[in-house]
Amino acid sequence: DLARRRKGLRYTGIAPVAATVDALTVPSGFSWRPIIRWGDPILAGAPAFDATNQSAAAQAQQFGYNNDYTDIIVERGGRRGLLVCNHEYTNEGIMFPPTMDKTEAIETAWAAHGLSIVELTRRSRGGRWVYVQGGARNRRITLDTPFAVDGPAAGSPLLRTKADPTGRTVRGTMNNCSGGTTPWGTVVSGEENFNQYFVAGGTDAREKRYGLSATQDTRGWHTVDPRWDARTADFRNEPNRFGWIVEVDPEDPTSTPVKHTAMGRFKHEGANIIISRSGHAVAYMGDDERFDYVYKFVSKKRYDHSSSRRARRHNLHLLSEGDLFVAQFRGDGAADGVYDGTGEWIPLTKNGRSMVKGFSIEEVLVYTRLAADAAVGSNGQGPTKMDRPEDVQPSLATGKIYVACTNNTDRGKDGKPGPDEANPRNANKDGHVVEIIETSGDHTGTAFSWNLLLVCGDPKTAGTYFGGYQGPVAPISCPDNLAFDSAGDLWISTDGMPSTLKYNDGLFQVVLNGDERGKVTQFLAVPREAETCGPVIHDRDGSVFVAVQHPGEDGSWADQHSAFPDYTKVNAPGTFAGPRPTVVQVARGI
C-alpha cells in the first residue's frame, strides 16, 4: 500500500519506471505542464527559441540550459511569483547542430550557464503558473555577468588575474548546482564542478586536490578565451575564482551578485540556511566529491527579522563574515544494530582568523579542501570523508539536518578508505541519507549526534535500511536534492537510478516522524536519461515542481534520445523536437 494521505496533496505513489521510457510519469489524477524550457525568451524583445539557429546574443536573453536548483517564491496575494533557477552545465553535442560555428557555440554555452530569474503569474491559487516574458525583475546571469567578491579572501593575491588585478571582481558564475533560498529572500547557489572547464598544469598539489588537470577540459573554451587556460601566469588563478557560494538578490535586477569567500571554496553542491536561536544565520553545505566533507558556516552578525529596508541591507551581508566548520562523524559501533553516533564541528576559521596550522586565513578559504584535510578534532582525528555529500538541508520544522550522500563506488577500492559507521558500505552505488541533530538544538555549537535515516537501494537487497520501517517502500537510489513539505516530510530527488536500478530517476517522499518513519513513496519519474532537480513542494497549493535536468543526455544532435517536454514531433534530420531541460508544475487539473 503506497498510498499517502496528506493535507492538500493526496496521491497514490507510482511504480518505478523503466530507464528506457521517455516520458514524465506522475501519479494517477495528476497532470504536468512545462513552466519554462531551455531557450524560452525571458527578457523583453528576446527572440523565440530556434534550436537550429541559436546564438550567444539570443541565449543571453533566454532561459539557460540544464536547470538544477529551482525555487518558486509565491508573493503576497498568491497570484504572482518569482522563479529562480540555476543552469548547471551545457551539453553542446545535443544542443547545437555540428555545423554551428565553434566560437559561436562556445559563447552560446557561456550564455546558457548561470541563473535565470523570471516572474510568474496565475489566475487563481492552486492554478497553473505561467511565466511573464519581460517581467520587471526578469534577469539572466551568465558567464559574463560581473560578480563582486567579498569576505576575508577578497582581493587576495590568490584571486588576482591579468584581467582582474584587484581580485575583487569575477566574470560570471558556472556549474551552479543546488542552492537555497535565504530567510531574507535572496538565493544562494553552489559553484560545483568548475575544474572541468579549465586546462591546468595539474602538477600542483592544490590544483590536483580540486581535480584540475591538463586533460580535464573537453569543451575547448580556452581556444576562445585565455582565461580558461590556467597554465599561463596571466590566468593561473582563474580557477580560484570559481568554487564559491554565490548570492543573488532576485528582487533587484540591477544588483551585483556576490561570491562569499567566508563560506570556503570547494565543489559546492549548495547551501541551506537556518536561523539559530541566537539569531545567527547557519548555512549547511556539502562538497560533492567522493571522500569529501560536510561543512557549516555560522554568520558573525545576527539576522534582523524586521521588514525594513535597513534590515534587508543588513541581512544581505550576513554571509560575508563568519566561522567555517567541517564535520567529523564518530560511530558508536554496530552492536546497537543502528548506524549512529556523535560528531564534532571542527573549526577552520574563527573571528576572521585561520584555525588550521600552516594555513593563512586566505589559504583556508581558497584551498578549503586542503585546510580541512589538515584540520584536527578534539580526538586528534580529522573530518570524515563522506560518500559525495550533495544537498545538506535543515528542516525548518524540527531543526534536524539531512545529508544526501549520493553514492561512492570507490569506497573500499584499491587503497581508498573503507567503510565507517556514517558511510557503511563498500562500493556504495546507491547512497544514503544522514540525519544530524545539533546538541541542545544549537546550530552554532560544535557537538551533534547523527544516525542514518536511509541506506538506499532496492529494498529487497541486503543492507538497505528505511528508518526502521518494515512495510513496503519504493526502491530509491542516488539521493541528490532535498526539500520539505508543510507536514514536515522529506522529499528526495535522485540522480543516477538508470545505472544502479535500471529505473528512471524520480522524486520520492519520506516520512520522518511517527510510526511510518522511513516509509518511501515515489511521486514521479523523469524522462529518459534525465535527473530530477528542484524539487519544490507546495502541498498546500496542491503543486509539486521539478526541474528536469539533462533529458536525453547520452544522445547526439543526429540521434536525440528524448523529445521532452513537447513531444510534438519526432526528431528528424534538420529538425529539433527536443530534448529541452524544463521546469514543470505537477498538479491536479492543470
Residues of the shown chain interacting with ligand FEO in the complex, contacts defined by CB under 6 A: 88, 177, 192, 269, 288, 390
CA 200 to chain centre: 25
Nearer to ligand FEO, 259 or 538 (CB): 259
Nearer to ligand FEO, 68 or 539 (CB): 68
Nearer to ligand FEO, 89 or 184 (CB): 89
Least Å distance, CB 388 to ligand FEO, is 7
Q: Which does 539 bind (CB under 5 to 8 A by kind): ligand FEO, Ca ion, none?
A: none
Cα distance between residue 552 and residue 526, in whole Å: 11
Least Å distance, CB 436 to ligand FEO, is 19
Least Å distance, CB 374 to Ca ion, is 27
Q: Which does 391 bind (CB under 5 to 8 A by kind): Ca ion, ligand FEO, none?
A: none
Q: Which does 88 bind (CB under 5 to 8 A by kind): ligand FEO, Ca ion, none?
A: ligand FEO
Nearer to ligand FEO, 68 or 362 (CB): 68
Least Å distance, CB 384 to ligand FEO, is 18
522 contacts 568 by C-beta, under 8 angstroms = no
Q: Which does 326 bind (CB under 5 to 8 A by kind): Ca ion, ligand FEO, none?
A: none
Residues forming contacts to Ca ion in the complex (CB under 5 A) are: 177, 332, 336, 338, 340, 390, 480, 495
Q: Strand 258-260 vs strand 146-150: parallel, antiparallel, or unpaired?
A: parallel
Cα distance between residue 88 and residue 550, in whole Å: 10
579 contacts 552 by C-beta, under 8 angstroms = yes
CA 313 to chain centre: 26
Q: Which does 336 bind (CB under 5 to 8 A by kind): ligand FEO, Ca ion, none?
A: Ca ion
The residue among 84, 504, 458, 27 whose CA lies nearest residue 493 is 504
372 dihedral zone (left: phi>0; alpha: psi -120 to 50; beta): alpha
Q: Which does 340 bind (CB under 5 to 8 A by kind): Ca ion, ligand FEO, none?
A: Ca ion
Q: Which does 192 bind (CB under 5 to 8 A by kind): Ca ion, ligand FEO, none?
A: ligand FEO
Give the Cβ contact number of residue 7 at 10 Å.
10
Least Å distance, CB 394 to Ca ion, is 18
Least Å distance, CB 115 to Ca ion, is 15
Phi, psi torsion values for 361, nearest 5 degrees: -60, -40
Residue by residue, DSSP assigns 258-297 as EEEGGG--S-B---EEEE-TTSEEEEEEEB-SEEE-EEEE
Q: Which does 362 bind (CB under 5 to 8 A by kind): Ca ion, ligand FEO, none?
A: none
CA 335 to chain centre: 36
Q: Which does 344 bind (CB under 5 to 8 A by kind): ligand FEO, Ca ion, none?
A: none
24 contacts 525 by C-beta, under 8 angstroms = yes
Nearer to ligand FEO, 217 or 495 (CB): 495
Which residues are CB-neighbours of 229 under 8 A, at least 6 positions away? 198, 199, 222, 235
Least Å distance, CB 88 to ligand FEO, is 6
Least Å distance, CB 68 to ligand FEO, is 6
The residue among 365, 369, 384, 398 whose CA lies nearest residue 517 is 398
Residue by residue, DSSP assigns 460-480 as TSTT-EETT--S----B--EE
Nearer to Ca ion, 122 or 265 (CB): 265
Nearer to ligand FEO, 538 or 550 (CB): 550
Nearer to ligand FEO, 190 or 377 (CB): 190
Nearer to ligand FEO, 190 or 343 (CB): 190
Least Å distance, CB 181 to ligand FEO, is 18
Nearer to ligand FEO, 11 or 69 (CB): 69
49 contacts 61 by C-beta, under 8 angstroms = no
- Dihedral angle, C-alpha 207, 208, 212, 216, nearest 10 °: 160
Nearer to ligand FEO, 164 or 390 (CB): 390
User: Which residue's beta carbon is nearest to the bound Ca ion?
Assistant: 495
Cα distance between residue 360 and residue 404, in whole Å: 31
In 38-133, DSSP assigns E strands to: 67-74, 80-87, 114-121, 130-131
Nearer to ligand FEO, 237 or 406 (CB): 406
Q: Which does 332 bind (CB under 5 to 8 A by kind): ligand FEO, Ca ion, none?
A: Ca ion
Least Å distance, CB 270 to Ca ion, is 8
Q: Strand 543-549 vs strand 30-37: parallel, antiparallel, or unpaired?
A: unpaired
393 contacts 180 by C-beta, under 8 angstroms = yes
Least Å distance, CB 67 to ligand FEO, is 12
Q: Which does 191 bind (CB under 5 to 8 A by kind): Ca ion, ligand FEO, none?
A: none
Q: Which three cell numbers stand for residue 124?
A: 487563481
Least Å distance, CB 513 to ligand FEO, is 28
